[in-house]
């Protein structure tokens, strides 16, 4: 199973592709950041982001796309742009036939670090530990996106068990 994790943003949109090798073993396939120029108009930037996300979906053919859900943002303009970026990612993922899952920051932290209050440094260290990565993932948006993918892989068995139980 391949999962594309997304830490949405319009200026910097983190992505991470993780493959499940076995019940307890995952492998990092790719991580990085999609960037748009803040000087460009928002519709142009959203179109650029859409094309980049489509490229990731075409290249990696993930089974699911996991996106970190924005819960709170002091800056309304930033919140709007993050929401717009997340919407573009959701639409592209759905159009390509991928399942889409949204996770709160606390869900991601709990699934990856075991504690919903983990800070950025702790999260980055847990991502590296779980995937056997020696070097820090930079920028942090890439590490955050990989964490979202790992969260989805941790949550999928639970969701599948609940679904099986409900259909019995």
Instruction: List the catalytic residue out of 92, 107, 124, 141.
Output: 141
Catalytic residue among 19, 68, 124, 144: 68
Active site residue 144: no
Q: What sections of the chain are H helices per DSSP?
A: 42-60, 76-95, 105-113, 120-131, 140-166
CA quadruple 68, 69, 71, 74: dihedral, nearest 10 = 70
Q: Catalytic: 141?
A: yes
Q: How many CA atoms lie within 13 A of 51 on its CB side?
A: 7
Which phi and psi angles does 132 have, rounded to 5°? 65, 40
The catalytically annotated residue of 7, 52, 107, 124 is 7
Number of neighbours of residue 92 by Cβ within 10 angstroms = 21
Decide if 52 is catalytic.
no
DSSP annotation string for 4-45: EEEE--SSEEEEEEEEEEETTEEEEEEEEEEE--TTS-HHHH
Residues with active-site annotation:
7, 68, 141
């Amino acid at each position: 199973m391949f999962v594309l994790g997304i830490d949405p943003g319009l200026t910097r949109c983190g992505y991470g592709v993780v493959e499940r090798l076995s019940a307890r073993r995952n492998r990092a396939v790719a991580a990085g950041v999609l960037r748009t120029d803040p000087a460009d108009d928002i519709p142009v930037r959203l179109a650029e982001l859409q094309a980049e996300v489509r490229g990731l979906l075409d290249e990696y053919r993930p089974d699911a796309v996991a996106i970190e859900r924005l819960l709170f943002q002091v800056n309304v303009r930033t919140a709007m742009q993050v929401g717009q970026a997340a919407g573009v990612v959701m639409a592209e993922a759905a159009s390509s036939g991928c399942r889409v899952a949204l996770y709160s920051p606390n869900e991601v932290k709990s699934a990856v670090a075991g504690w919903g209050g983990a800070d950025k440094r702790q999260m980055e260290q847990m991502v590296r530990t779980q995937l056997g990565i020696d070097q820090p993932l930079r920028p942090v948006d890439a590490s955050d996106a990989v964490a979202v993918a790992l969260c989805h892989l941790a949550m999928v068995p639970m969701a599948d068990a609940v679904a099986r139980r409900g259909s019995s």
